[in-house]
Chains A and B, each alone.
Chain A
Amino acid sequence: MAPESPDRAHAVAFTLNGEAVRAHVPARMHLGDLLRESFGLTGVHLGCEHGVCGACTILVDGRAVRACLMLGVQADGATVETVEGLTESGRIRDLQDAFHTRNALQCGYCTPGMLVTATELLNDADAATSREEIRAAIAGNYCRCTGYHAIVDAIAATAEARRDGPKNSRREAAE
């Protein structure tokens, strides 16, 4: 049931990386902390906790969102996926391989957020995937190491391979 009356903590039930989970969450706890502290999903990186750096980006109901700007109690009823879930499902194996071969990460702090942002871009049938488009999509994800070039290369290579590959097989697998 929705928490219709005010309280400082609420019970939530949601789908996390494909599994049904429950938790009792203080209202003030943001979703990034809930995922890290209650579920051990430390791939949700926290940089700024005010929406600017993008390190905490996850998928909620299939869309990229900032885990630091959603409350844990707002996950109730939602489908949440982190980089751990995306990795286990194999859906972004090609993207991860492209990051690896092109050296699109150094310290890796920004990488989970970059991968999730790119996942949404690549799944979005409407989105063109020119380099300019890719740069616009990752403009909200800071990387202090790579200079971005290799990241754009990796996303562009994945977009191209998916376009040329067996007709949309990966996108179908993703849905």
Chain B
Amino acid sequence: MKAPDFAYARPASLDAALALLAEHGEDAVPLAGGQSLVTALNMRLSAPGLLVDLNAIPELAGVSEDEGVVRIGAMTRHRDVGTAALVRERLPLLAAALPHIAHPAIRNRGTIGGSVALADPATEWPACCLAAGATIVVRGPGTERRIAADAFFLGLYTTALEPGEIVTAIEFPVPGDGAVWGFEELSRRHGDYALVGLAATGRRSAVGLSDLRLAFFGVADRPVLARAAAAAIEAGDLTGAQAALADELDPPDDPATRAATRLHLARVVLGRVAGRMRDGTVKEETSHGA
């Protein structure tokens, strides 16, 4: 199908973009990589009056490090996030997640800010933000807000973003000594949205794992931090952790994949990821079959 009629503007600065959004109110939406928005327009699932293209705003793209924080500009393309030397070195979790996001041509264009703003519950970046304790930096007309990932993802395609606000960057704390991470995703085919995925960070010492953050995706209306499961694993009780997921996750039920199946798969994924983090055998996982 073809998109409905709309107007388009490509402002050259963040202030100009914010002014356009303010002037046109709820009729206007930001356009980032377009890999979800243009899809929705072509299928006529969305009919905004004005697209405000963020692609010509230089300050929104790029990766930098300052005082223990890696800052990733909202308009940084998926591919450039996962291949940046700084990210590969400091945030290997993100580099491991990259190959699971869609396909090369979509990774070349889609942006981390777009994924975070969209908040599809079956996607990789929001879960990575949650696992890594990231902060979402948001600008509105004359205001800047810094929102912890824990408080940002509120439900199905729902975030703490207010109309007229733009995500400008995501800030990730650089993991300290003893930091470990884990990532695994099960999908039907390479590049498909996740059936079940887990992004995790923590600390490993002679006595075991601590500071564990387990962010599941594809198993609720938003990415979920499984706190009880994390506490059980820190106490050395994997079976208890897997049992705890029944209360912590709320998997969707559809004819292709029953909720009970997803819960089972979440337990399998947890066992694998926790095992690798405990044994210090974390590596980039590339398993695509359930």
Residues of A at the B interface (CB closer than 8 Å) are: 2-8, 10, 26-28, 30, 33, 49-51, 54, 57, 63-66, 68-71, 73-74, 76, 117, 120-121, 126, 135-137, 139-141
Contacts and interface: CB of A to CB of B under 8 A. Distances in A.
Contacts of B8: 3, 6-8, 10, 27, 71, 73
Interface in B41-82: 41-43, 50-51, 53, 55-56, 79
Contact of A137 (B24, B35, B53, B104): B104
A27 B8 CA distance: 6
Contact of A6 (B7, B39, B43, B109): B7
Nearest to A64: B105
Contacts of B7: 6-8, 27
Contacts of B51: 27, 71
A139 B289 CA distance: 13
A64 B53 CA distance: 20
A74 B55 contact: yes
A92 B104 CA distance: 19
B35 A69 contact: yes
13 contacts: A2-B56, A3-B10, A6-B8, A27-B6, A30-B2, A30-B38, A63-B79, A64-B105, A71-B8, A73-B8, A121-B104, A126-B83, A140-B191
B283 interface: no
A8 B50 CA distance: 9
Contacts of B56: 2
B151 interface: no
A25 to B, nearest CB: 9
B3 interface: yes
A10 B53 CA distance: 13
Nearest to A49: B42
Contact of B38 (A3, A7, A63, A70): A70
B215 interface: no
A30 B102 contact: no
A160 to B, nearest CB: 20
In which size bucket is the chain B interface?
A: 35 or more
A28 B4 contact: yes
B9 interface: yes
Contacts, number: 117
Interface string B103-120: 111101100000000000
B1, B56, B79, B286: residue with the most chain A Cβ atoms closer than 10 Å: B56
B17 to A, nearest CB: 10
B190 interface: yes
A54 B103 contact: yes
Contacts of B106: 51, 66, 69, 140
B19 to A, nearest CB: 11
B101 to A, nearest CB: 11
Interface in B244-281: none
Contacts of B38: 30, 51, 68-71
Contacts of A121: 104
A8 B5 contact: yes
Given A69-B38, A73-B8, A117 B105 contact: yes
A28 B9 CA distance: 12
Interface in B22-47: 24, 31, 34-35, 38-39, 41-43
A118 to B, nearest CB: 11
A79 to B, nearest CB: 14
Given A4-B11, A69-B38, A139 B108 contact: no
